[in-house]
Chains A and B, each alone.
Chain A
Amino acid sequence: MSIKKPVEHIAKATPPSIARRVRGLSDRAIAWLFVGPSIVLLLAVNIFPLIWTINLSFTNFKANRLRDAEYIGLRNYERILTDADTWQSMQATAHFLFWTIFFQVLIGFALAYLINKKFKGNDLWTTIIVLPMMLSPAVVGNFWTFLYQPQIGLFNYVVQFFTGVEASSFSMIGSVTLAPWAIVIVDTWMWTPFVMLICLAGLRSIPDSIYEAAECDRASKWRQFWTLTVPMVLPFLMLAVLFRGIENFKMFDLVVQLTGGGPGSTTLLTSIDLKREAFEKWRTGYASAYAVILFVTVFGLASIYVKALNKVKER
């Protein structure tokens, strides 16, 4: 079991290349031949579009019009950054990010801790728990709108069963106060197993000998947990947070199916807002600027985070 730095691992793991020439093409030629197609495809489908997006972001281009676009400088950026609605959807995204990660780490770690007790049949139950995360978020999200229906949905009746609150008295996706939590619940349901799996790998990477040594020092279980278990699992946990963070920042399919951004704009995450601008209002230039802002944000935050993660691992 090992944890690898997402970025820096590569060079170290590379075995020394076989220096001498063999029959056929030179190693160098083969290397380029092998890497080439991937790079070309990624350039065509990722980098070229990115450059195009940056270019479009300075125009008032509308993809559904015949008329030509004009360069309007930084106007799009100015409008987006001064628009209160943008900040509202940033806030909605932040709320979603924070609480999904919070609950997933909490429950995911707890589950991993319990599974690591190695009770009988833990493999089977782990596999069952993992199921939701492999499924199509759009299909599952769509079905959750059915589960959330106050009069006919299962969710409200389960809540009624456990708490006595009448099922049809509240609406998870209809109420302004509940809707942001409704999407957090479904995302947590889907992705807690992800955090759990990573935590489990972390827990299993701790050698028993460390605990045995702690036992000899008469350290209490509680102390062992905080001074041994948590620090050892922390890098894994941080990695899980990184992945969930990036994924949920991009979140589109699940939430668009669940709430469509509503009620009002309470669950209008940035990706959904962007989709509206780009493919419903067809403000292509404006949406391109929006996309660049989002990309810079996620890239910037992720880079800072990876630095922090590497520091933690070096300790």
Chain B
Amino acid sequence: MDPSGNFDVTSMAEGELGLSSPSVVYEEPASVWHRLARNHKISIVSIVVILLFVLGAIFAPLLTPYEYDAVSLSERLMPPSPTHLFGTDEVGRDVLTRMLYGSRMSLIIGIVPTMLSMAIGTLIGMTAGYFGGKVDTIIMRVADIVMSFPSMLLAMVVMYTLGGGTFNVFLTMAFVGWAGVARVVRSETLKLKESEYVEAARIMGVRRFRIIARHILPNCLPTIIVLFTLDIPAAILTESSLSFLGMGVQPPSASWGLMVNAGRAFLYHAPWLCFAPCLAIMVIVLAFNYLGDGLRDVLDPHLQSQ
């Protein structure tokens, strides 16, 4: 205030109201890792387990003295022993070696098609959510159909028509997986579309595609990451099931599902043939599920209640 008693807001704004000093300093929110470590210790354990599996898959040739397809008929169906930790199968191949090589297939099939369906689902879901109207109706009805069709049956049909093999497994799983992603991303987009900062961007003259790319997508990412982590184990299970049914990866390639199928015939004589790959499937699926749950709690408070 100046001496004459006039209330000079302009000078006040600059000086006396404390603008020149920095405003309240906010505490940096704890990083995702910190919050995970504090509230979800099991997800940290899961990350370690997943890393071990990944390392095992990458360094498989260094970790085992055997070849995954080295047949040794003198060593058929040997029980677990120091030389063969998980025993050997019906033609004398080392089970642990085959599991290590098989984890390559399981992890790749867990991750690559899931990424593919994430990308497709996100794109489709955001288009439907943002543009709405007829586009939305058509896309979402197609998604409903894909989702209501038994996915395993659909996968089998595709595999039958296209034949087995890794690439076709990729295609099939992406084809089945996008619909669920599209649904979640669409609802998220619908919510964000009405948010004030998207409105603000529109008011500043930002075009639609830029709004989607810069303002909606980054804010969808936490949801997408959680969905990704939770979809990986589902994909691993689907791959195992397809391979178990003989429609996935073809021998002599190793895959956990294939190994369970092969071991089925020797369930009474050599149970380790089935149990070892089953255990691996269970552990990796559990690890991804726990990690996904942890990430969901940390990244996406909206999903917590579900």
Asked if A and B are interacting partners, one says no
B contact set with A: CB distance below 8 Å = none
A contact set with B: CB distance below 8 Å = none
